[in-house]
């Protein structure tokens, strides 16, 4: 018995370590679980990107399921994900609101004119204070919010068509059903 | 001599080297020295979310600068260390803390090393015990014969070297 144990124990230890390391291979250290899941979108009152004189608040967004996409023209990954967002916008399945993060207004407006505008509206967060309240630590980030203003899901990094089809749209459908 | 001098010189610089981040933090001044100490302590305990191996105090990432400013504003407005920690954890989770709180999800983190130490000690004790108990084993006939012939051989190889 102990003769087998001498070989089995190290083998078992090796197997456990190997499993963890293997799993670690495709884990993303930048994906930090957000404590905001299940919580309200924080209060804000910020100007719109398109109309500097018009303020938009968190209350204006109540009553519908929407995606909140944090982006900026200085963010390279945002450019990479933009086409996906434009396509999602064309599907008309969910409203997308943008949080334009620490950006130049003119540059952001040019970006939307040139690359297409999938957003229902863009919140212009010049100082990045609302982004801090949202726990944003990089762009792009995308939040899924229900009609009561509760955050259900957060994706850090660019969204891709697979993620939208397999994860985001099913969640949107479910949240819309609940009302 | 030369070596001693350069060694002492390096030692001198090492001892009196100021932390790299000291310069970037000069802009944060508090009237109350206790507050200043609290501020330094709290930003040293927070992880920068952009460059994850740096503290908020040490990072020059733009988000780290924003967060430092935010914390500075909070503390000059009269809020304490605990308020700052609550503020940060509410937004970024326990991940921002270099000193993680004790709770079920962090038990492996806190007690894992202790468990490993105990396992290691047990294995070591067993191994040592086994060794002391091990009896001298009897030689088989074959082995005894080989031993005898070896002992009978003259140790000429040693003498030949003279």
Task: For chain B, give every domain's residue range.
Answer: 20-101, 102-133
3-state secondary structure of B98: coil
pLDDT, mean of residues A60-79: 95
| A81-95, A103-117, B49-63: least confidently modelled range | B49-63
**A154 within some domain:** yes
Helix or strand holding residue A122 (H, E)? strand A121-125
C-alpha distance from B25 to closest chain A C-alpha (Å): 20
Q: Does B126 touch chain A (CB under 8 A)?
A: no
pTM: 0.73
Nearest CA distance, A135 vs chain B (angstrom): 4
Closest CA to A67 of A155, A162, A165: A155
Q: For residue B92, which residues of chain A lie inside 8 Å, CB to CB?
A: 32, 35, 135, 137
The beta-carbon neighbor of B66 closest among A34, A36, A132 is A132
Q: How many domains does chain A have?
A: 1
Task: With respect to residue A22, please indicate whether it lies within any of the assigned structural domains.
Answer: no
Length of chain A: 179
* Contact across the interface for B93 and A132, Cβ inside 8 Å: no
CATH classification code of B20-101:
1.10.8.640
Checking if the pLDDT of B155 tops 50, the result is yes
Average pLDDT over residues B41-51: 87
**Banded pLDDT at B19 (limits 50, 70, 90):** low
Q: Which residue of A has its CA nearest to B51?
A: A30
Higher pLDDT, residue B144 or B3: B144
Comparing CB atoms, the residue among B62, B89, B95 nearest residue A32 is: B95
Determine, yes or no, domain membership for A89: yes
User: Which among A102, A129, A138 has the least Cβ separation from residue B50?
Assistant: A138
Does B161 have pLDDT greater than 50? no
Confidence class of residue B89 from pLDDT cuts 50, 70 and 90?
A: very high
Burial class (CB in 10 A: 0-12, 13-18, 19+), A35: middle
Question: What pLDDT does residue B158 have?
Answer: 54
Percentage of residues of chain A with pLDDT beyond 90 = 83
Residues of B within 8 A of A137 (CB-CB) are 49-50, 63, 92
Residues of B in contact with A129 (CB under 8 A): 70
Tokens representing B32 are 């109350």
Instruction: Locate the chain A residue with the closest alpha carbon to B70.
Output: A129
Give residue A42's pLDDT.
95
Q: Highest mean pLDDT: which of A147-151, B51-55, B76-80, B158-162?
A: A147-151
Q: Which residues of B touch A151 (CB under 8 A)?
A: none
Of A35, A128, A129, which is closest to B89 when you measure between CB atoms? A35
Mean pLDDT over B100-126 rounds to 89
Contacts with B89 from chain A: Cβ below 8 Å = 35
Q: B89–A29: do the CB atoms touch at under 8 Å?
A: no
Q: Is the ipTM here above 0.85?
A: no
Residue B155: strand, helix, or coil? coil
* Domain that residue A104 falls in: 34-178
Q: Which residues pair with A66 in a beta bridge?
A: A95, A145
| pLDDT tens, position by position, A1-18 | 567 888 888 899 999 999
Q: How many residue pairs bridge chain A and chain B with CB atoms within 8 Å of each other?
A: 35
> Is residue A82 included in any domain, yes or no?
yes
| CATH code of the domain containing A133 | 3.40.30.10
**CB-CB neighbours of A138 under 10 Å:** 18
Per-residue confidence band for B18, with pLDDT thresholds at 50, 70 and 90: low
Residue A173's CB is within 10 A of a number of other CB atoms, namely 12
């Amino acid at each position: 018995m102990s003769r087998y144990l001498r070989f089995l124990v190290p083998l078992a230890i090796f197997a456990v370590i190997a499993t963890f390391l293997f799993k670690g291979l495709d884990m993303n250290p930048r994906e930090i679980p957000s404590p905001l899941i299940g919580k309200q979108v924080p209060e804000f009152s910020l100007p719109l990107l398109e109309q500097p004189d018009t303020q938009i608040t968190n209350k204006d967004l109540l009553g519908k399921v929407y995606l909140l996409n944090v982006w900026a023209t200085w963010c390279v990954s945002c450019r990479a994900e933009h086409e996906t967002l434009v396509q999602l916008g064309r599907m008309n399945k969910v409203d997308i609101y943008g949080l334009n993060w620490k950006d130049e207004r003119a540059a952001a407006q040019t970006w939307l004119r040139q690359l297409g505008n999938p957003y229902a509206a863009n919140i212009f967060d010049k100082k990045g204070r609302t982004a801090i309240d949202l726990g944003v630590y990089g762009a792009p980030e995308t939040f899924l919010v229900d009609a009561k203003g509760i955050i259900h899901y957060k994706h850090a990094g660019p969204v891709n068509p697979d993620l939208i089809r397999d994860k985001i749209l099913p969640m949107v459908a479910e949240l819309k059903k609940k009302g | 001599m030369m070596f001693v001098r350069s060694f002492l010189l390096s030692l001198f610089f090492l001892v009196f080297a100021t932390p790299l981040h000291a310069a970037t933090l000069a802009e944060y001044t508090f009237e109350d020295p206790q507050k200043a100490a609290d501020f330094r302590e709290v930003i040293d305990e927070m992880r920068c979310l952009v460059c994850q191996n740096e503290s908020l105090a040490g990072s020059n990432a733009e988000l780290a600068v924003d967060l430092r400013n935010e914390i500075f504003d909070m503390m000059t407005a009269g809020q304490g260390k605990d308020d700052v920690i609550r503020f940060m954890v509410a937004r970024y989770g326990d991940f921002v803390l270099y000193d993680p709180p004790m709770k079920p999800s962090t038990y492996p983190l806190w007690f894992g090393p202790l468990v490993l130490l105990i396992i290691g000690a047990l294995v070591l004790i067993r191994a040592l015990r086994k060794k002391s108990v091990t009896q001298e084993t009897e030689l088989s006939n074959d082995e005894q014969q080989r031993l005898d012939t070896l002992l009978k051989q003259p140790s000429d190889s040693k003498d030949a070297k003279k």
